[in-house]
Amino acid sequence: MKNSNQLTCLENLPNEIFTFDIFPLFSWQELYRIFFGLNQRFNTILKTSNHINFTVDESNKHHPALTFFNSSIICLKVCLGQFDVTPFLALRSLTLQYPSLQQRNSIRPENFPYLEYLNLSYPLEDSILLNLIFSNGFKYLKNCKLDQTTTNYSWHGSPKLRSLSISVHNLYGIICVLHACPNIFRLNIIVYDKPQNNISLTLHSSFSLDLIQYLFIRSTFEIFTSILTFMPNLKSLTFDNRQYSDNKSPELILTSLAKVLTNLRQLDYVYFTINTSIWNGDRNQQTLHPLFRNVRGTGTSIIIASN
C-alpha cells in the first residue's frame, strides 16, 4: 500500500493538470523554454494545448515556439504588418493591429477554414475580403471587428455572424450591413459623414433584426432614431452623438428620445450622450421615461444613464 503522504513526481501528473492548471500560469515563450524538449510526452502535451493565446510583436516574431506551435495555435494577435500568418491553419481567432496588404490578402477561407473571430484595426477597402466576410465565405465566423469599410448592397449575407463592430459611411453603409447580418445579437456601429437624403431606411422594411439585444451607435440623432425601428428587442443601448444639435432644445431632444424608447419594452440599460446647448436640468426627466434616472448637463452635452 502506497503512503498517502508520498510526494507525487511531476511525471505522474495527468495531462489535464498541465493543460488546464499549470500551463495557463506561463506565457507561451516561458512554456516553450520550460517544457519543450524534456521528453516526447511533454512535447505532445505542449503541441496539443490549443487554449494558449499568442501575441506576436517585434520582440518575438522569430521565436522558435511559433514554428513549433503553428499547427495548434487557435488564438493569434499580431502587432506588426510584416509577419506571415498563413502557417496558422487552425486559427479560430485572429487579430491584426496593423494589417499589411499581404496579411489582408491572406485572410481567405482556404487559409483559415475554422475562423470564428476576426479583428482588423485598420480601414478596410478590400472588396474581395469584405465580400467573403459578408457573403458567408467564412462558414464559422461569429464575431467580427472592422474599422472604416466600404460597403456593398450586393453582399449575400452571413447568417452565422452574431456580433459585429464596424465603421461605415452614411446611411447606405448601415443598410448594407443590416441587410448582410440578419442574425446579429450585438452591434457596435460608427457612422461617418452626413446621411444621404435620397436613401431611407423605411424603404428597406424587409430587415429582420429582432435578435439584436445590445447596440452601441455613434451617429447623428436622426440616424439613431431610424435604426431603432428595426430593433424592438433591445436590452442595452448606448448612443454617442456625432453632430452638434444646436437647432434643437435639450428638452425637445429628451422628449423625442423618450418617445422613441417607448416601443422598446425589454430595454433595461441606456447610456445616451448628445451635444447640445446648455441645459439647466430643472425638470424631473424621469417622468419622461423610467430609464432616465440620471440626466445631467456638462455645458456642451447632455448625458443620460439608466443607473
pLDDT digits (tens, 9 = 90+) for 109-129: 999 999 999 999 888 888 999
The angle formed by the CA atoms of residues 105, 107 and 111, to the nearest 5 degrees, is: 115
Residue closest to 187 by CA, chosen among 207, 201, 167, 208: 167
> What pLDDT does 16 receive?
87
CA 155, CA 181: separation in Å to the nearest integer? 10
- pLDDT: which is higher, 113 or 196: 113
DSSP secondary-structure letter at 193? Answer: S
**pTM score of the predicted model:** 0.85
> What pLDDT does 33 receive?
92
Mean per-residue pLDDT, 74-97: 95
pLDDT tens track for 33-63? 998 988 999 889 888 887 788 999 999 999 9
- pLDDT: which is higher, 202 or 170: 170
Residue closest to 134 by CA, chosen among 190, 185, 179: 179
Q: Cell triple for residue 2?
A: 502506497
Mark 167-204 as b/e (b = at least 16 C-beta within 10 Å): bbbbbbbbbbbbbbbbbbebbbbbbeeebeeeeebeee
Alpha helices, DSSP H only, in 108-210?
127-134, 170-180
CA 184, CA 163: separation in Å to the nearest integer? 5
Residue 95 has pLDDT above 90, yes or no: yes
Fold for 52-192, please state it: 3.80.10
> What pLDDT does 136 receive?
96
